[in-house]
Amino acid sequence: MVEKKLEGQTAIVTGGVRGIGLGIARRLASEGCKIVIWDQDISVFDVDRAGFKPIDLQSVDVSNFHSVNEAFAATLQKTQTLQILVNNAGINGPVLPVMDYPEEQWNRVLAVNLNGVFHCTKAVLSTMKKAGYGRIVNVASAAGKEGVPGIAAYAASKHGVIGFTKSLSRELAETGILVNCIAPVMTETDLLKEMTAEHISASKAKIPMGRFLQIPEIAAMVAWIVSPECSFTTGFTFDLSGGRANY
Ligand SMILES: NC(=O)c1ccc[n+]([C@@H]2O[C@H](COP(=O)([O-])OP(=O)(O)OC[C@H]3O[C@@H](n4cnc5c(N)ncnc54)[C@H](O)[C@@H]3O)[C@@H](O)[C@H]2O)c1
């Protein structure tokens, strides 16, 4: 049985309607945490399939600061407090060489993956600061630590998320708010729909364990990082790489 380590706490999980975000939300809920989900498409959320009922479920575009700020005001009305933010919403963008990469798609990938993390974090910080406690986890990627041909926009956005995490963690080091990120390798979710078959098999071939990462493995790591037990690690990138990351 999972220990109720997060009883009495509330977490916002962005992009929590499906995939990795849903897996993280489900795990945190199983540890007693109240869950708020912000996602651009909430129509597909199903309480029975999810196995938990969010305290708040809102349609939010994380790339739009106005949308995020409004959502947070509405969330706070319901929850009063917030201890945990998981910045998970993200898109891959097309797999194309830089010279063929459409400018609009480049801007969209950066807007969702990087600006989105900034927007959601900025919205919640003063509440966490007042409480003198917070745990922020940003979902980066192994592509945030190394170059990957064909997904320069995605890799640049995820390198940005890691840089943002390191910088913010130092700004907040004495506030009780810890900021970390995770760098998972390929995990079978809807994100793969934007990728080519060649890109998927090349990514799998780079994983020494020879298999894709599983969502519950990510969720278990995040559950520890957002818990009070993680008390002396901030600004760190936790790898989930099946042996790929040795740097
Ligand atoms: N799947 C992988 O192989 C993999 C590997 C490493 C990192 N990641 C990262 O994990 C995170 C989750 O990805 P996933 O694989 O579960 O993908 P997914 O496509 O299954 O889920 C992404 C979720 O984010 C939501 N979303 C997208 N744009 C949004 C926006 N502008 N505002 C609010 N919500 C938005 C989607 O509606 C969806 O629910 C992403 O940040 C992704 O980059 C995924």
What range does the domain containing 64 cover?
Answer: 10-239
Catalytic residue selected from 101, 133, 154, 247? 154
Answer yes or no: is the C-beta of 141 below 6 A from any ligand 1 atom: yes
Ligand 1 pocket, mutate which of 66, 189, 207 (most atoms under 8 A from CB): 189
Question: Is 172 within the bounds of a domain?
Answer: yes
Question: Is 89 within the bounds of a domain?
Answer: yes
Token code pair at residue 121: 């974090």
Question: Is 69 within the bounds of a domain?
Answer: yes
pLDDT at 3: 81
pLDDT at 1: 63
Question: Is 51 within the bounds of a domain?
Answer: yes
pLDDT at 247: 74
Beta-bridge partner residues of 138: 87, 181
What does DSSP assign to residue 186?
A: -
Answer yes or no: is the C-beta of 7 below 6 A from any ligand 1 atom: no
Which CATH number belongs to the domain containing residue 157 in this structure? 3.40.50.720
Neighbouring residues of 29: CB distance < 8 A, sequence distance ≥ 6: 35, 51, 52
Establish whether 154 is a catalytic residue: yes
pLDDT at 156: 98
pLDDT at 245: 79
Question: Is 4 within the bounds of a domain?
Answer: no
Distance in Å, CA 174 to ligand 1 centroid: 31
Question: Is 5 within the bounds of a domain?
Answer: no
φ, ψ at 235 (rounded to 5°) = 80, 10
**Positions of the chain with pLDDT lower than 70, given as ranges:** 1
Question: Whole-angstrom Cα distance, residue 1 to residue 207?
Answer: 31
Question: Is 102 within the bounds of a domain?
Answer: yes
Question: Whole-angstrom Cα distance, residue 190 to residue 86?
Answer: 19
| Cα dist from 124 to 69, 75, 114, 216, 226, whole Å | 9, 10, 16, 26, 15
Question: Is 56 within the bounds of a domain?
Answer: yes
Tally of structural domains, the chain: 1
Give residue-wise pLDDT tens across range 105-133.
Answer: 999 999 999 999 999 999 999 999 999 99
Give residue-wise pLDDT tens across range 179-201.
Answer: 999 999 999 999 999 899 999 99
Q: Are 144 and 159 in contact (CB under 8 A)?
A: yes
